[in-house]
Amino acid sequence: MIALNPDYQYPCQCPKCKNNQIQTQKIRLQGIHLLAQCQCKTCHYHFLINLPTGHGLYYPTAIGTDDLQLYPHPLAIKWLAQPLLEAYQNPDNTPIEIEQKVKKQYKEVIFLNCLDFLYGHALLKLLNAQQYLEKHPDKGLILLITPNFEWLIPEGVAEVWILKTPMRKTQKWLTALENFFDQKRTQYQQIYISPAHSHPDFRKIDPSLFFHEKRFDINKFQENNYTITFIWRHDRLWLRHPFWELLLIASQRIKALAWCKNLLIALQDDKIRKTIKKIRKAIPEVQIYITGQGKKTNTFAKIAQDLRTEQIDTPTEKQWAKIYSQSHIVVGIHGSNMIIPTALAGGFVEILPKDRIGNITQDIALPYDYKDMLFLGRFLPMNTTPKQLAFHLSSIWKIFPYYRKNTAENPEVI
Which residues lie near Zn ion (CB under 5 A)? 14, 16-17, 19, 40, 42-43, 45
Q: Supply the minimum distance, in Å, between the C-beta of residue 91 and Zn ion.
A: 25
Q: How far is the CB of 160 from Zn ion (least distance, A)?
A: 40
The three state secondary structure string of the chain is CEECCCCCCCCCCCCCCCCCCEEEEEEEECCCCEEEEEEECCCCCEEEEECCCHHHHCCCCEEECCCCCEECCCCCHHHHHHHHHHHHHCCECCCCCEEEEECCCCCEEEEEECCCCCHHHHHHHHCCHHHHHHHCCCCEEEEEECHHHHHHCCCCCCEEEEECCCHHHHHCCEHHHHHHHHHHHCCCCEEEECCCCCCCCHHHCCHHHHHCCCCCCHHHCCCCCCEEEEECCCCCCCCCCHHHHHHHHHHHHCHHHHHHHHHHHHHHHHHHHHHHHHHHHHCCCCEEEEECECCCCCCCCCCCEECCECCCCHHHHHHHHHHHHCCCEEEEECCHHHHHHHHHCCEEEEEECHHHHHHCCCCCCCCCCHHHHHHHEEEEECCCCHHHHHHHHHHHHHHHHHHHHHCCCCCCCC
Cβ distance to Zn ion smaller for residue 3 or 43: 43
Select 45 or 232, whichever has its Cβ closest to Zn ion. Answer: 45
Task: State which residue, 62 or 145, has the beta carbon closest to Zn ion.
Answer: 62
As measured in angstroms, the least distance from the Cβ of 77 to Zn ion is 22
Q: How far is the CB of 71 from Zn ion (least distance, A)?
A: 12
Shortest CB 50 distance to Zn ion, Å: 18
The residue (of 12 and 290) whose beta carbon lies closer to Zn ion is: 12
Nearer to Zn ion, 14 or 124 (CB): 14
CB of 11 to Zn ion, least distance (A): 15
Residue 20 vs 305, nearer CB to Zn ion: 20
Nearer of residues 17 and 77 to Zn ion, judged by Cβ:
17
Which residues, 6 or more positions from 382, have their beta carbon under 8 angstroms from its beta carbon?
Answer: 238, 239, 240, 245, 351, 352, 353, 354
* Maximum separation of any 2 CA atoms in the chain, in Å: 75
Question: Measured from the CB atom, is 40 or 376 closer to Zn ion?
Answer: 40
Minimum Å gap between C-beta 19 and Zn ion is: 5
What is the smallest separation between the CB atom of 64 and Zn ion, expressed in angstroms? 10
Judge whether 264 and 248 are in contact, CB under 8 Å.
yes
- Nearest residue (CB) to Zn ion, 22 versus 85: 22
Tell the smallest beta-carbon distance from residue 22 to Zn ion (Å).
8
